[in-house]
Amino acid sequence: MKPDTPEDLEERALRALREEGPIALPRELVPLPPPLPVPIIGGRHELAPVVAAAWPKAQAFWSRFLLLGAPVDGAASGSVAQIDLGTRQVSLDLTMIREKGLADCLEAILAHEVGHHVRYPGTLAVHARMKMLEKSLLPLKQYTLTNLFTDLMINDALRPRFEEELCRVYQSFTSTYDWKADPAFLFYLAVYEERWGRAPGSLMGAKSEEQFARAYPGYRAEAQVLGQNLFHLGPNVYTQFLYFVSVTARYVLPKGQQEPVAADPYSCGCGEPSADDWADALTPDAREREAILRARDEGWISKQNADRMSDDQVTDRRVATLPGSDDADATRVPEVMAAYYRQQAEQYLLRPPPQLRTGEATTPTALEEWEPGDALRDIDWNATLLQRGELLGAALPLKRQKVAETEGWEVPLWQPRIEIYLDVSGSMPDPRVTRNAMTLAAQVLVTGAIRAGGWARATLYSSAPVQYREWCRSETELSKFLMHYIGAGTEFPFDLLRDSVAECRGDQPIRVVITDHDFDVNYRTLPGNASIFADAVVQSPHFVLMLHAADPGWTEAYKATGAQVIAVKELNDYPAMAAALSNALFARENRVAH
């Protein structure tokens, strides 16, 4: 504990951490937290010395310069071993390893996990892209070939040194393999048998092999050809992956219509890609496109599939297969899409003109407790983490007090502020399931303002408005807010516009309305709307209307009030739109004096 910490701090922190959420479950219904992973090396487990000896050798197989944390026990999620590529933490299930008599295979098992970190897939971003490619060809809910592919690539690299150990891992689970539930896994084992010159059934199990051969005549020839061709394919890992999936997919569906049940005892997973990883994977990169072309030319995938994997709707298709798109967790897809818009906005960033505002000249002084109700932006996270650490800091943050250098002395503050009105009515595409250029436009403006040291806030409207009323400095926070979709009628909130103008008085922000020609109807519905609009245009340093399918007559009317109107013709041609917006904001001066 640091010396300047209040005496009751620890007690208060513990109280805060113990506080229950708004809905307190009865104690017996509260789910038990998963057991904490236990460090192995230096611990008391009987296999700890074996792991300690094997770990450096396993890393050295790939490189002498790896910086991985030592393995832990009890977090391998039902597999012999696992690596979480998010944290780069290797986990072992020592109980299972001991029960299966695999203690002398630990170096191979650990080297395999390190292989996921070093080569296949290497990062969760690559992992996410593989999953996206796979979903195009194999539209199954849970089942995946991604892990089998990466395991095969790693194991083949490990083969010269660890062939016997790796085979023993698979052999130790032979009795559990149910080829009827997961035929692709048995085919996968046949690839090893053929490529490594092992007897048929030596990994699959003799009985399973016999039955499998009857059910899938010729499978061994396919396994041998796959094993021969896979490792030499270029130009990149996606090519190899597409080839692997195209062949193995023929064995995925069990007889009958049900989804296969994965039988792989080595399903080490690699962890779940982050929202940013998924967002990045929503658009195929050049390497994927190259691989798709080759897969099409070689006949591994049909032309129709190849087109679907690379046409102008590919992002929408990928969005539809995101994890969470068809399950109960409604937060996952919007989170990914928010990250997607943030990434896309980077390409079109513009710097809004800073506005001259005056404010008191302040200087940061002492730290004090942040209390609920204080502005979030007052928290000094650096000081909090330095003084209180992650645990206490999260519960009891500190804020930095600022005092006036000289009472009443105001200095100029160049700070852009943008207020956005975004139409999310039924005539607009849902930004959570497709790329909505208007949401992207809003994201570009928000990001631009915040990156320039400014603030932003937004109002989404359809038949009713939803506001983010606080001035916000967080791109992430606002990008998540922009994922809201109403999808009903279009009623521009003129009342809110009037209130905003009144509230901001002598400190007006740039205002941007992003909508379509439905705005024209809203404008003329009530006689007072035109005057609210005109007043807002006069008061705002910039008032920009981005109108899709704009009516020329109304456009002239809006321009007559002094508003800048950008007519958006082609939504997918966003760079042009961004450039137009940029011109609208910057055309007359670099700095906009208030």
Partner 1 sequence: MSLTERLFGRSTGTKLDLAPVQAKLAAAVRASTTPDLELTRARLADHCRDASLLPLQTEEFDRAASVLDADGQRRLALLVSLLELEAVRTAVAQLANTWPVHQIVSSALTGLAQDTSLLTLEVLAQSEQRVEELARRFLAAIRASINGETAEDSKKRLNKLDYGRLLAEADKAKTAAAERAERLRQLQEQQEQRRGRRGKW
Q: Does 463 bind partner 1 (CB under 8 A)?
A: no
Q: Does 567 bind partner 1 (CB under 8 A)?
A: no
Considering the complex, state which of residue 321 and residue 539 has its C-beta at the smaller distance from partner 1: 321
Considering the complex, state which of residue 159 and residue 351 has its C-beta at the smaller distance from partner 1: 159
Q: Does 202 bind partner 1 (CB under 8 A)?
A: no
Measured CA to CA, the distance from residue 572 to residue 441 in angstroms comes to: 11
Q: Does 427 bind partner 1 (CB under 8 A)?
A: yes
Stretch in the footprint of partner 1 (CB under 8 A) among 2-10, 219-227, 502-510, 535-543:
219-227
Place of tokens 């996968």: 188
Q: Does 138 bind partner 1 (CB under 8 A)?
A: yes
Stretch in the footprint of partner 1 (CB under 8 A) among 154-162, 218-226, 381-389, 528-536:
218-226
Considering the complex, state which of residue 71 and residue 254 has its C-beta at the smaller distance from partner 1: 254
- Taking alpha carbons only, the member of 235, 133, 250, 128 closest to residue 188 is 250
Smallest distance, partner 1 to C-beta of residue 315, A = 11
Place of tokens 């404008």: 523
- Return phi, psi of residue 278, to 5°: -65, -45
Please state whether the peptide bond connecting residue 235 to the residue before it is cis, i.e. omega within 30 degrees of 0.
yes
Smallest distance, partner 1 to C-beta of residue 303, A = 13
Q: Does 426 bind partner 1 (CB under 8 A)?
A: yes
Q: Does 385 bind partner 1 (CB under 8 A)?
A: no
Q: Mention every residue, 6+ apart, whose C-beta is less than 8 A from residue 170.
A: 189, 192, 203, 265, 266
Which one of residues 428, 544, 545, 584 is an interface residue with partner 1 (CB under 8 A)? 428
Per the CB < 8 A criterion, the answer to whether 92 and 44 are in contact is no
Smallest distance, partner 1 to C-beta of residue 190, A = 11
Residues in the chain: 594
Stretch in the footprint of partner 1 (CB under 8 A) among 174-182, 275-283, 365-373, 427-435:
427-435
Which one of residues 231, 464, 495, 531 is an interface residue with partner 1 (CB under 8 A)? 231
**In this structure, what token pair is assigned to residue 247?**
């062949």
Question: What are the b/e assignments for 206-242, b being 16+ CB within 10 Å?
Answer: eebbeebbeebeebbebbeebbeebeebeeebbbbbb
Stretch in the footprint of partner 1 (CB under 8 A) among 67-75, 97-105, 312-320, 375-383:
312-320
Considering the complex, state which of residue 261 and residue 366 has its C-beta at the smaller distance from partner 1: 261
Measured CA to CA, the distance from residue 55 to residue 189 in angstroms comes to: 27
Q: Bridge partners of 461?
A: 423, 465
Q: How many CB atoms lie within 10 A of CB 574?
A: 20
**In this structure, what token pair is assigned to residue 393?**
């800091």
Q: Does 222 bind partner 1 (CB under 8 A)?
A: yes
Give the amino acid at 312: D
Considering the complex, state which of residue 305 and residue 539 has its C-beta at the smaller distance from partner 1: 305
Which one of residues 33, 42, 160, 197 is an interface residue with partner 1 (CB under 8 A)? 197
Footprint on residues 26-65 left by partner 1 (CB under 8 A): none
Stretch in the footprint of partner 1 (CB under 8 A) among 82-90, 100-108, 116-124, 421-429:
421-429
Q: Draw the binding track, 86-125, toward partner 1 (x: CB under 8 A; -: no contact).
A: ----------------------------------------
Per the CB < 8 A criterion, the answer to whether 399 and 368 are in contact is yes
Which one of residues 252, 339, 422, 497 is an interface residue with partner 1 (CB under 8 A)? 252
Considering the complex, state which of residue 262 and residue 379 has its C-beta at the smaller distance from partner 1: 262
Which one of residues 178, 285, 290, 430 is an interface residue with partner 1 (CB under 8 A)? 430
Side-chain half-sphere of 177: how many Cα atoms within 13 Å?
28
Q: Give, to the nearest 10 degrees, the angle between helix 146-171 and helix 183-195.
A: 70
Angle (CA) 484-490-493 rounded to 5° is 80
Sign of CA dihedral 248, 252, 253, 259: negative
- Cα 261 → chain centroid: 27
In the complex, the residues that contact partner 1 under the rule CB under 8 A are: 135-140, 197, 216-222, 224-225, 228-229, 231-232, 249-253, 257, 305, 308, 316-317, 320-321, 426-430, 433-434, 487, 548, 571
